[in-house]
């Protein structure tokens, strides 16, 4: 079996190197978290525009109140207060296909458009009609609570525009949005995961790890929920409320 | 049972509010990830000094090459490539008491010193002698690979000094280090978790969630390892190497 | 670094051996799950009495209705329906110190009694008085819902008695229970984790992996909750119920 | 939103009921783990044949030596010895699509055959040719190490035959195997997950939770590996071995 190599990091007794840079001499105190994350992942230092876009994405996805993942982290923290990492990990297991994973489906559609020989607009129309005909939801569009429009999406797209990125993914998303509305016969909002897919595409993040960006951001949000659980416990209340509301109706 | 409340976030059809600020109008595009994380956790916007210190900590803990947590994430990714979040979560479960959790023990010792009526120096001496007499390791000191000194620690302390934080925790850590060397009869380095405990104490992060800061940073590092696994697979090699090296020696 | 060995299992192209026995020729179709679990863990085949006791423990811990771990598994399943294993793993992270981990504290007290030179009864009294004086809960005793007595405990102890195990741990538990009631000045029930600690001690399961027995049993219970979630979804209802009941009360 | 109900369990101050039976009076000491697991999941007590088959499956999947999931559990245990449940949960996250999840794909193919109006044999041929033409692996067939045949499969099928189950799924699997060999132009073994899919189908376990059965069995196996790690540590050796064997080759 071929021996793999790593290009990420190594260390000696005196130093740690990440992507060829000295952690101590070149990174700590000089890079922000977001710059370091981009550098570690992509192997190149981000431009200011890339940093600004990645920050906007990370800020957007961090927090949405009492959600499945924050409920999970609170319950696990109460059961296992000695393991803050386990409470966070449990909540992160909810960053699956239902909510956040749609980002990848949207990114795939944008990639398909950008490589289409017949042009992006024609492919956007074909994608929208294909998904609609299959009676499936189209990833990156629609939101159960935020109507008529998800307020995060125009802001994210505006930040990217201000940052001055090339804009191919964002243009593709707008084209797709037009065709989605036409195929559905009504307005479907570009939701936050749709806008995020376009922004991360703009800064070169591969679709296959986009979900990881959301995981990092949500991890930070869950730390806040665990802290609140420490000072204002909710887990026992959640447990008793839920068990009362789901009655036994067996034989 | 008393009804708990949350002070973190809520949303309406048109807007999302985090700690009282509009996510769309006041946070996205205006805060860095690190500022947002501090704001969501602490309920107050960080000063530039606090942001600089938190960035330094997050940059420090992100990456240390091929470690238990990165090996775990690579193996789980190979077994479950459809769930990047599960691979990250599995790796994060390694942020336990052995490596990172020592941060909390160090923070507890610093807190004990800062509240001691007999003075910080006297308490530092008592702590060092107590731990030494119990033949236990003292959290935040010593490192198996980085000798004589963990190179990250002086850099972290210097960043905090440049940022101009009050400095009580850092002064306490230095006092403790002096007494540790005396009690052990030889030099023990302040390791990265020791320095991090002091820095996070300086910016007001409660000891009970310090481990969460490490989790967020490591999550970012693990995204990079999963990306490398996608383009340069190592998991099957790890599996075969390990199984060859641990021979069966049963009956 | 010394090379470790394994005594558990190995395989060739034609066969798999577990603890020296051929999986195909000697185990599949001949052992029950419980016998196989004991054999794999302990390296020796269980006696009928040991199997009966381990079955009783595994049956006891499997299911307790709508609990934190079953709520967690339902929520994660809804977020990530492609990963049943992640939903189970998330729920299992709740098998921590708060509920199940008390088993280990109880086992430690029983071990302390069994090795006490002054006799078991004298040590039981000392343990009960020590814990009471420290105003701490005593692991394995008391239950918030099942009063005056946890109904599972006498049944577990009866099963062990019928099975005819030596009975040293069970006798120790009864001695401790008497001293607990005396030290507290009122009756505290032996709860299920207390009885389980004694039973697992009787069959030689080390305290350090007793929690693992509970994990296996709970894993089975969570499969049932996930199946119910598939045919009778509850996760969205749980989410909306909890978020309505925890109001935002920030600035 | 419609209020969900549960048919699994509830409790009063004096009793716990699972699927309508008293845990204390009717289940503890009377059912084996395997019977209880079937009862909790399916809502009906298993026949002796069903129990025998489920035991055979659970025994088969428990242990395969040093594998990704056992390596993961050993590493996480070393990093977090206070959380045995976290070490098990991390290993279980490896029960994903790559190895075990193929069980579900095989079960889906068998279900498709059993409902086919043109007959099972004709549909088996169509499935084998369709998968082969798509140059995809066919779930439940082939094995990298066990050649020419996975030794577990004939044994599992024999146990089911001895137990005298109806046999529709097993007959379908044999038909499919014949067509697979024809479509591939060479012999592909029915592997353990293929045989397990047929056996679990025979006893009525829905394909959507078959993976959960594997999770329970693997959880038991991982307890044994954690116990071995406690007495014969391997994690530091694994770490150093892997990090030496994956050299840094970045800039």
Domain extents in chain C: 1-30, 102-202
Residue-wise pLDDT for B227-240, tens only, equals 999 999 999 999 99
Contacts of A92 in chain B (CB under 8 A): 85, 88-89, 92, 219
Contacts of B250 in chain C (CB under 8 A): 6-8, 19-20, 43
Q: What is the ipTM of this complex?
A: 0.96
Nearest to D96 among B65, B80, B96 (CB): B80
DSSP H or E run through C153 = helix C152-163
Query: CB-based burial of residue C194 (10 Å sphere; 0-12 exposed, 13-18 middle, 19+ buried)?
Result: buried
Asked whether residue A250 carries a pLDDT value surpassing 90, the answer given is no
Asked whether residue C120 carries a pLDDT value surpassing 90, the answer given is yes
- Residue D146 binned pLDDT confidence (cut-offs 50, 70, 90): confident
Determine, for residues B247 and C82 on separate chains, whether the beta-carbon distance falls below 8 Å: no
Question: Among residues 220-249 of chain A, which lie with CB inside 8 Å of chain D?
Answer: 245-249
Determine, for residues B19 and C245 on separate chains, whether the beta-carbon distance falls below 8 Å: no
The Cα C36–Cα A54 span in angstroms is 51
Contacts of C97 in chain A (CB under 8 A): 80-82
pTM above 0.95, yes or no: yes
Half-sphere exposure of B93 (CA within 13 A, CB side): 40
Determine, for residues A245 and D3 on separate chains, whether the beta-carbon distance falls below 8 Å: yes
Neighbouring subunits of C (3+ Cβ pairs under 8 A): A, B, D
Nearest to B6 among C86, C89, C246 (CB): C246
Low pLDDT (below 50) residues in chain B: none
Report the pLDDT value the prediction gives residue B50, as an integer from 0 to 100: 98
Report the pLDDT value the prediction gives residue D2, as an integer from 0 to 100: 85
Give me the residue label for tokens 């119920």.
C241
Asked whether residue D224 carries a pLDDT value surpassing 90, the answer given is yes
How many other C-beta atoms are found inside a 10 Å radius of the C-beta of residue D128?
A: 24
Respond yes or no on whether the N-terminal peptide bond of residue C29 is cis (omega within 30° of 0). Answer: no
The Cα D197–Cα D211 span in angstroms is 10
D244-247: long-range pairs with CB below 8 Å, 24+: D245/A3, D245/B237, D245/B241, D246/A3, D246/A4, D246/A5, D246/A6, D246/B66, D246/B234, D246/B237, D246/B238, D247/A3, D247/A5, D247/A6
Report the pLDDT value the prediction gives residue D88, as an integer from 0 to 100: 98
DSSP D99: T
Determine, for residues C23 and D92 on separate chains, whether the beta-carbon distance falls below 8 Å: no
- CB burial of B143-153 (b: ≥16 within 10 Å; e: otherwise) equals beebeebbbbb
Cβ neighbours of residue B164 under 8 Å, at least 6 residues apart? Answer: B49
Contacts of B75 in chain A (CB under 8 A): none
- Residue D27 binned pLDDT confidence (cut-offs 50, 70, 90): very high
Determine, for residues A224 and B16 on separate chains, whether the beta-carbon distance falls below 8 Å: no
Q: Note the helical H segments in A62-190.
A: 68-79, 84-92, 102-114, 120-133, 152-163, 168-184
A37 compared with A1, residue with greater pLDDT: A37
D85 CB near a chain B CB, below 8 Å? Answer: no
Contacts of D241 in chain B (CB under 8 A): 241-242, 245
Mean pLDDT for the stretch of residues C8-35:
96
User: Contact D145/D189 with Cβ under 8 angstroms?
Assistant: no
Residue-wise pLDDT for A103-133, tens only, equals 999 999 999 999 999 999 999 999 999 999 9
Contacts of B234 in chain D (CB under 8 A): 246
How far A48 CA sits from the closest chain D CA (Å)? 23
Residue-wise pLDDT for C28-59, tens only, equals 999 999 999 999 999 999 999 999 999 999 99
Residue-wise pLDDT for A183-231, tens only, equals 999 999 999 999 999 999 999 999 999 999 999 999 999 999 999 999 9
Neighbouring subunits of D (3+ Cβ pairs under 8 A): A, B, C
Cβ neighbours of residue C231 under 8 Å, at least 6 residues apart? Answer: none
DSSP H or E run through A21 = strand A21-22
Which stretches of D2-78 are assigned E, i.e. beta strand?
Answer: 9-11, 16-18, 21-22
Report the pLDDT value the prediction gives residue A231, as an integer from 0 to 100: 97
- B-D contacts at Cβ under 8 angstroms: 125
CA angle (A87, A88, A89) in 5-degree steps: 95
Size of chain B in residues: 251
Report the pLDDT value the prediction gives residue A145, as an integer from 0 to 100: 84
How far C97 CA sits from the closest chain A CA (Å)? 5
Nearest to D246 among A5, A20, A82 (CB): A5
Report the pLDDT value the prediction gives residue A146, as an integer from 0 to 100: 85
Asked whether residue D1 carries a pLDDT value surpassing 80, the answer given is no
For residue C7, give the chain D residue with the closest CA: D228
Asked whether residue D166 carries a pLDDT value surpassing 90, the answer given is no
Contacts of D23 in chain A (CB under 8 A): none
Report the pLDDT value the prediction gives residue C166, as an integer from 0 to 100: 84
Determine, for residues B97 and D82 on separate chains, whether the beta-carbon distance falls below 8 Å: yes
D117 CB near a chain A CB, below 8 Å? Answer: no
- Residue A73 binned pLDDT confidence (cut-offs 50, 70, 90): very high
Determine, for residues B33 and A29 on separate chains, whether the beta-carbon distance falls below 8 Å: no
Determine, for residues D93 and B78 on separate chains, whether the beta-carbon distance falls below 8 Å: no
Homologous superfamily in CATH for domain D102-202: Cytochrome P450-Terp, domain 2 (1.10.230.10)
How many other C-beta atoms are found inside a 10 Å radius of the C-beta of residue D59?
A: 29
The Cα D54–Cα D47 span in angstroms is 11
Task: Give percent of chain B with pLDDT exceeding 90.
Answer: 92
DSSP H or E run through C226 = helix C207-231
- CA-to-CA dists, residue B30 to A210, B9, B24, D172, angstroms: 22, 18, 10, 61
How far C44 CA sits from the closest chain D CA (Å)? 12
Strand partners, D114: none
Asked whether residue D106 carries a pLDDT value surpassing 80, the answer given is yes
How far B206 CA sits from the closest chain D CA (Å)? 21
Displacement of CA A165 from its chain's centroid (Å): 19
- A-B contacts at Cβ under 8 angstroms: 287
B87 CB near a chain C CB, below 8 Å? Answer: no
- Residue A1 binned pLDDT confidence (cut-offs 50, 70, 90): confident
Nearest to B206 among A15, A96, A227 (CB): A227
Give me the residue label for tokens 């479907």.
A188
Report the pLDDT value the prediction gives residue B13, as an integer from 0 to 100: 85
Task: Give percent of chain D with pLDDT exceeding 90.
Answer: 92
Determine, for residues D98 and B80 on separate chains, whether the beta-carbon distance falls below 8 Å: yes
Residue-wise pLDDT for C152-171, tens only, equals 999 999 999 999 988 999 99
Question: Among residues 61-80 of chain D, which lie with CB inside 8 Å of chain B?
Answer: 65-69, 71-72, 75-76, 78-80
Report the pLDDT value the prediction gives residue B2, as an integer from 0 to 100: 85
């Amino acid at each position: 079996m071929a021996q793999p190599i790593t290009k990420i990091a190594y260390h000696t007794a005196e130093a740690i190197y990440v992507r060829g840079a000295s952690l101590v001499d070149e990174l700590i105190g000089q890079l922000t978290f977001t710059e370091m994350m981009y550098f570690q992942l992509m192997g190149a230092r981000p431009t200011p525009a890339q940093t600004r876009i990645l920050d906007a994405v990370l800020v957007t996805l961090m927090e949405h109140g009492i959600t499945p993942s924050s409920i999970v982290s609170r319950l696990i923290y109460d059961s296992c207060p000695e393991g803050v990492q386990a409470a966070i990990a449990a909540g992160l297991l909810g960053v699956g296909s239902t909510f956040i994973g749609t980002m990848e489906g949207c990114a795939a559609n944008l990639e398909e458009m950008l490589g289409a020989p017949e042009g992006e607009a024609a492919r956007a129309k074909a994608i929208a009609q294909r998904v609609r005909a299959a009676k499936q939801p189209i990833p990156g569009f629609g939101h159960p609570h935020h109507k008529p429009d998800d307020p995060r999406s125009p802001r994210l797209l505006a930040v990217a525009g201000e940052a001055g990125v090339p804009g191919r993914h964002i243009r593709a998303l707008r084209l797709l949005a037009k065709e989605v509305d036409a195929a559905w016969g009504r307005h479907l909002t570009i939701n936050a995961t749709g806008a995020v897919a376009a922004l991360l595409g703009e800064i070169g993040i591969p679709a296959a790890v986009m979900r990881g960006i959301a995981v990092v951001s949500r991890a930070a949000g869950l730390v806040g929920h665990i802290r609140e659980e420490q000072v204002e416990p909710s887990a026992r209340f959640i447990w008793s409320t839920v068990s009362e509301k789901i009655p036994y109706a067996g034989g």
